[in-house]
Amino acid sequence: MLSSFLQALASKLVEAILGKLTEWLAPKALRAVPHRASPNCPRCGGYGVRRWAPGGMAVVFLLSLLAFAWGFGFTVLGVPVVVFTVVGAVVSDGVGGLWPALLAPLGLLVPGALLVSGAFGLAWYHSYPPKWCARCHGNWPRRDRAEYLRAARVFTCGCGKRLRVPAAAGAKLRCPSCKAEHATPARTGR
């Protein structure tokens, strides 16, 4: 009776931990982009923007996208496996089984490294100036990458949407997601 109670308690605990982890991690992973330039379209705010990038960057973009997707998928699927391994070892062997079970999180190193390398590859691709938007069909002339990064100013709204800040100081900026209106932040030196 005690073992069935412990198993039910462990499953409820794992379910609660996974729920909190997904609730906390998913928005951070989807919103956090480690670069200054916004991946969104400057006009409509949507994704699907082709960039003025060198020819080999399309391959880097696809490989980075695959690495990020695989890393994210295997990390999300690997966390429950690690938690179940640790909980199962503790339930079956007691505290003595805890030390070998703590080696299970090492299996998340490879998916984590894939996730991070894919994110940096995607950030590198998105640091090139926009060329064409698949959503609003906007076109932009060719620009130098360094000039684009100097001019790229991104503001994050309270809802998590990344918005491009216009050059005019004091202009009003409206978030397309939550419709909140913000004053344009002051330009900071880089």
Query: Alpha-carbon distance 20 to 67, whole Å?
Result: 25
| pLDDT more than 90, % of the chain | 7
Calpha distance 179→176 (Å, rounded) = 5
Most confident among 49-53, 147-151, 161-165 (mean pLDDT): 49-53
Contact present, 116 and 71 (Cβ < 8 Å): yes
How do beta strands 49-51 and 172-174 pair?
unpaired
Range with the largest mean pLDDT of 50-59, 64-73, 140-149:
64-73
User: What pLDDT digit, counting tens, does each position of 153-162 carry?
Assistant: 667 777 877 7
Mean pLDDT across 147-169: 70
Is the pLDDT assigned to residue 188 strictly greater than 60? no
pLDDT tens string 104-119: 888 888 998 998 899 8
pLDDT above 70 coverage of the chain, percent: 80
For residue 73, give both structure tokens.
Answer: 């998928």
Are 1 and 87 in contact, with CB atoms under 8 Å apart? no
pLDDT at residue 95, rounded to an integer: 73
166 alpha carbon, distance to own chain's centre: 25
